[in-house]
A and B are shown apart, each in its own frame.
Chain A
Amino acid sequence: MTKQIIVPFGPQHPVLPEPIHLDLVLEDEKVVDVIPSIGYIHRGFEKLVEKREFTEYVYIAERTCGICSFIHGATYCQGIEQIMKIDVPERAQYLRVIWSEFSRLHSHLLWLGLFADSFGFENLFMGAWKTRERVLDFMEETTGGRVIQGTSKIGGVRRDISSEKLDQMVKDLDVLDREMKELTTVFLHDDSIRHRLRNVGVISREDAYHLGAVGPTGRGSGVAIDLRKTGYGAYDRLNVRVVTDSCGDSLSRCTVRAKELFTSTDLIRQAAKKIPDGPIDMKVIGAPDGEYFMRAEQPRGELVHYLKGNGTKFLVRSRIRTPTLSNIPPLIKMLQGCDLADVPVIVLSIDPCISCTER
Chain B
Amino acid sequence: MAFFEMVKTALRTVLQKPVTILYPAQAAKKTPLSRGHLTIDESRCISCGTCQRKCPAQAIILIKEAKTWQIDRLRCVVCNSCVDTCPVKCLFMDTQYTAPVTARTVDIIAITYVKPAKPEKKDTPQ
A59 within 8 A of B: yes
Q: Is the CB of A142 within 8 A of B33?
A: yes
Fill in one digit per residue for A172-198: 1 if any B CB lies within 8 Å of its CB, else 0.
000000000011011001111010000
Q: Is the CB of A191 within 8 A of B56?
A: no
Known: A127-B13, A144-B93. Is A190-B6 also a contact (CB below 8 A)? yes
Q: Is the CB of B19 within 8 A of A133?
A: yes
Contact partners of B41 in chain A: CB under 8 A: none
Contact partners of B107 in chain A: CB under 8 A: none
Q: Is the CB of A56 within 8 A of B13?
A: no
Among the interface residues B13, B35, B84, which one has the most CB atoms of the partner chain A within 10 A?
B35
Within 8 A of B (CB), among A22-75: 52, 56-57, 59-60, 63
Q: Taking CB as reference atom, which chain B residue is nearest A63?
A: B77
Contact partners of A59 in chain B: CB under 8 A: 56-57, 77, 79, 81
Among the interface residues B3, B35, B79, which one has the most CB atoms of the partner chain A within 10 A?
B79
Within 8 A of A (CB), among B73-92: 77-81, 84
Counting contact residues on chain B (CB < 8 A from A), the size range is 20 to 34
B105 within 8 A of A: no
Q: Is the CB of B9 within 8 A of A191?
A: no
Q: How far is the CA of A150 from the CA of B6 in the complex (A)?
A: 37
Q: Is the CB of B81 within 8 A of A141?
A: no
Contact partners of A186 in chain B: CB under 8 A: 5-6, 9
B102 within 8 A of A: no
Q: How far is the CA of A182 from the CA of B31 in the complex (A)?
A: 28
Q: Is the CB of A123 within 8 A of B29?
A: no
Q: How far is the CA of A59 from the CA of B81 in the complex (A)?
A: 9
Q: Is the CB of B5 within 8 A of A141?
A: no
Does more than half of chain B's interface fall in helix, strand or loop, or is it mixed?
loop
Fill in one digit per residue for A131-170: 1 if any B CB lies within 8 Å of its CB, else 0.
0010001001111110010100000001100000000000
A124 within 8 A of B: yes
Q: How many A residues face the partner with a CB closer than 8 A?
A: 33
A130 within 8 A of B: yes
* Min C-beta distance of B86 to chain A, whole Å: 14
User: Which of A144, A189, A190, A192 is within 8 Å of B33, CB to CB?
Assistant: A144
Q: How far is the CA of A126 from the CA of B6 in the complex (A)?
A: 12
* Min C-beta distance of A237 to chain B, whole Å: 27
Q: Taking CB as reference atom, which chain B residue is nearest A48?
A: B56
Q: Is the CB of A144 within 8 A of B6?
A: no
User: Which of A56, A137, A183, A191 is within 8 Å of B2, CB to CB?
Assistant: A191
Contact partners of B31 in chain A: CB under 8 A: 140-141, 144
Q: How far is the CA of A202 from the CA of B126 in the complex (A)?
A: 97
Q: How far is the CA of A56 from the CA of B33 in the complex (A)?
A: 21
Contact partners of B34 in chain A: CB under 8 A: 140, 144-145
Q: Is the CB of A127 within 8 A of B9?
A: yes
Q: How far is the CA of A121 from the CA of B5 in the complex (A)?
A: 13
Q: Is the CB of B2 within 8 A of A123?
A: no
Contact partners of B78 in chain A: CB under 8 A: 145
Q: Is the CB of B6 within 8 A of A56?
A: no
Q: How far is the CA of A322 from the CA of B33 in the complex (A)?
A: 30
Q: How far is the CA of A170 from the CA of B57 in the complex (A)?
A: 36
Contact partners of B29 in chain A: CB under 8 A: 137
B101 within 8 A of A: no
* Min C-beta distance of B123 to chain A, whole Å: 43
Contact partners of B55 in chain A: CB under 8 A: 56
Q: How far is the CA of A219 from the CA of B12 in the complex (A)?
A: 34
* Min C-beta distance of A6 to chain B, whole Å: 38
Contact partners of B93 in chain A: CB under 8 A: 144
* Min C-beta distance of B36 to chain A, whole Å: 9
Contact partners of A52 in chain B: CB under 8 A: 56
Q: Is the CB of B56 within 8 A of A56?
A: yes
Among the interface residues B6, B8, B10, B33, which one has the most CB atoms of the partner chain A within 10 A?
B6
Q: How far is the CA of A142 from the CA of B10 in the complex (A)?
A: 31
Contact partners of A150 in chain B: CB under 8 A: 35, 79-80
Contact partners of A182 in chain B: CB under 8 A: 8-9
Contact partners of A133 in chain B: CB under 8 A: 19
Could you give 14 example pairs across A and B, Cβ below 8 Å? A56-B54, A57-B56, A123-B6, A123-B10, A127-B9, A140-B34, A142-B33, A144-B35, A145-B35, A148-B79, A182-B8, A186-B6, A191-B2, A192-B3
Known: A60-B56, A182-B9, A186-B9. 4 other contacts (CB 8 A): A123-B10, A145-B78, A150-B35, A194-B1
Task: Give 8 closest A-B pairs by Cβ, nearest first.
Answer: A144-B33, A190-B5, A59-B56, A56-B56, A186-B5, A144-B35, A59-B79, A141-B31
